[in-house]
């Protein structure tokens, strides 16, 4: 680089190395934007302090092990991204960058935050995803202008009560932590739009969650919830609610008061019925309750006049109410893996694009014949795939939990690296994939993808949780040592 770009910006291409000479250049003292992401930079020299007019700095995805204390002289800095570097800490002087509005330090093995991070009082966006944080300093709640806070995939066990002081917060990501509860004060976040607390250990939600009156997205998947508070009905702006992979046995009737709800995901719970009030959800377009224990559906389901995708796969349904045909926008109906003997004739009034009755079904639509139900005298629909044969869903809860060295080995197999795609809502399996797998079995050598560090960390967490569950169970004394040795081998490699 021979001269300062006229717009005061510098963005070297991949492979460039940051040198002391570059940072000492008098030509760059007026530089306002410096983009050095995706290079092989191994050191950020103290001369970074020369860029006193620097407004934006991006050194993400390099090999920088340390940020110099002299970074504090970049008083004009507003946007900084240090993500994807082998950093373990931020410099103590970092909170002196009081003009900073956006800070990204994702995936850097950060173990703690500066105790005085609250001095960054202009901060509006703070991204701390994929780190090793176990707690939050008290001063964090002094960031009263904070609108986005991403703490996903850390090791946080407790959320401080003072989180309720961040009244301007709009997006809060807490997924992939170790939270067992949320403080009541979370209900003070009146401006919160998105809350993601999936993949934690939550056993309950505080009733005060009803105070999140601006909330549009609530994701509480993969927890230990058995109930949802009645106050959920006060979230009038809630559009997306995901509570899949919990332990719910019922939904509150107040769910019908969530008048803006468009997507409701209830997959892999223990639901026996759906509340009648679900028919009040006039804007609901996607309802997924796959892999529950549903034995019936309320006839009020027909009131969901905007419903386009309705998935009830792997339940215990013996009939579909004729009122489903009142959902005139319905395009996809998935009732495979149930115990249906026939379908209501009223379904012919719908313009279905897919009607799934079996895992072995090769086409989305079938040829039906009309028949008569001998018990009621009503006209019904039947086909070659009816009546359905009862089958047990392949839920995680049906896997052996005790004496489980074999289960432990399976948990760290290739299936685990693929994140158990078979249990995922959007997982699609193509015939070509099955053919490829058959071909691979014929070969003697196989290539395995090297796990990403983030995957290793998630695997460690999964295995440790499994060990805790098994050790807490009774009757494991005989194989406890065997299981612990296997876990130690896995966690050591991580």
In a domain, 381, yes or no: no
Q: How far apart are alpha carbons 343 and 345 in whole angstroms? A: 6
For residue 15, the domain's CATH number is: 3.80.10.10
In a domain, 351, yes or no: no
What is the pTM assigned to this prediction?
0.77
Q: Which residues pair with 456 in a beta bridge?
A: none
In a domain, 378, yes or no: no
In a domain, 375, yes or no: no
In a domain, 78, yes or no: yes
Q: Prior bond to 153 cis, omega within 30? A: no
Q: What is the domain range of residue 417?
A: 399-423+453-494
- Per-position DSSP letters for 234-282, written without gaps between them: G-TT--EEE--SS--S---GGGGG-TT--EEE--SS--S---GGGGG-T
In a domain, 174, yes or no: no
Q: At which of 127, 156, 185 does a domain end?
A: 156
What string of pLDDT tens digits covers the 494 residues of the chain?
323 343 445 555 444 445 545 555 555 778 999 999 999 999 999 989 989 999 999 999 999 999 999 999 999 999 999 999 999 999 999 999 999 999 999 999 999 999 999 999 999 999 999 999 999 999 999 999 999 999 999 999 999 999 999 999 999 999 999 999 999 999 999 999 999 999 999 999 999 999 999 999 999 999 999 999 999 999 999 999 999 999 999 999 999 999 999 999 999 999 999 999 999 999 999 999 999 999 999 999 999 999 999 999 999 999 999 999 999 999 999 999 999 999 999 999 999 999 999 999 999 999 999 999 988 899 999 999 999 986 554 544 444 333 333 333 344 344 443 443 334 333 333 344 444 544 544 444 343 444 445 555 566 666 666 655 655 544 444 444 444 444 444 444 44
Nearest residue to 199 (alpha-carbon basis) of 245, 158, 142: 245
In a domain, 21, yes or no: yes
Q: How far apart are alpha carbons 361 and 384 in whole angstroms? A: 10
Contacts of 344 (CB under 8 A, 6+ apart): 319, 320, 321, 322, 324, 325, 378, 380, 381
In a domain, 369, yes or no: no
Q: At which of 126, 156, 186 does a domain end?
A: 156
Q: At which of 123, 156, 189 does a domain end?
A: 156
Look at the chain and report how many structural domains it folds into: 2
């Amino acid at each position: 680089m021979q001269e300062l770009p006229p717009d005061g910006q510098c963005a070297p291409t991949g492979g460039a190395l940051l040198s002391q000479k570059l940072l000492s250049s008098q030509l760059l003292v007026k530089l306002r934007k410096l983009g050095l992401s995706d290079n092989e930079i191994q050191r950020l020299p103290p001369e970074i302090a020369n860029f006193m007019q620097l407004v934006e700095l991006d050194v993400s995805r390099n090999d920088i092990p340390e940020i110099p204390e002299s970074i504090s002289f970049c008083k004009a800095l507003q946007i900084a991204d240090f993500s994807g570097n082998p950093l373990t800490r931020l410099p103590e002087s970092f909170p002196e960058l009081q003009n900073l509005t956006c800070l990204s330090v994702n995936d850097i093995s950060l173990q703690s935050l500066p105790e005085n991070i609250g001095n960054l009082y202009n901060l509006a966006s703070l991204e701390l995803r994929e780190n090793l944080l176990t707690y939050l300093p008290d001063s964090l709640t002094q960031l009263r202008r904070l609108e986005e806070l991403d703490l996903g995939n850390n090791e946080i066990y407790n959320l401080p009560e003072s989180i309720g002081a961040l009244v301007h917060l709009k997006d809060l990501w807490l997924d992939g932590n170790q939270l067992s509860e949320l403080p009541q004060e979370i209900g003070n976040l009146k401006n919160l739009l998105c809350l993601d607390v999936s993949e934690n250990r939550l056993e309950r939600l505080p009733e005060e969650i009803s105070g999140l009156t601006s909330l549009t997205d609530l994701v509480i998947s993969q927890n230990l919830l058995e109930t949802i508070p009645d106050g959920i009905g006060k979230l009038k702006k809630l559009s997306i609610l995901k509570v899949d992979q919990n332990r719910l046995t019922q939904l509150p009737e107040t769910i019908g008061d969530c008048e803006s709800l468009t997507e409701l995901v209830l997959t892999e719970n223990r639901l026996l019925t759906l509340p009648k009030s679900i028919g009040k959800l006039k804007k609901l377009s996607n309802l997924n309750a796959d892999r529950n224990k549903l034995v019936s559906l309320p006839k009020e389901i027909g009131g969901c006049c905007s419903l386009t995708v309705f998935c009830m796969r792997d339940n215990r349904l013996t009939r579909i109410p004729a009122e489903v045909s009142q959902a005139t926008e319905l395009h996809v109906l998935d009732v495979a893996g149930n115990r249906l003997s026939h379908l209501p004739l009223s379904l012919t009034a719908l313009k279905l694009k897919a009607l799934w009755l079996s895992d072995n079904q090769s086409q989305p639509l079938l040829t039906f014949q009309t028949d008569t139900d001998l018990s009621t005298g009503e006209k019904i629909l039947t086909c070659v795939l009816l009546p359905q044969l009862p089958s047990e869903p392949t839920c995680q809860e049906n896997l052996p939990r005790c004496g489980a060295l074999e289960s432990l080995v399976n948990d760290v197999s290739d299936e685990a690296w693929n994140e158990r795609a078979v249990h995922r809502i959007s997982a699609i399996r193509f015939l070509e994939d099955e053919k490829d797998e058959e071909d691979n079995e014929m070969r003697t050598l196989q290539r395995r993808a090297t796990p990403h560090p983030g995957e290793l960390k998630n695997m460690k967490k999964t295995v440790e949780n499994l060990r805790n569950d098994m050790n807490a169970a009774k009757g494991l004394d005989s194989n406890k040592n065997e299981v612990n040795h296997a876990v130690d081998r896995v966690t050591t490699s991580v």
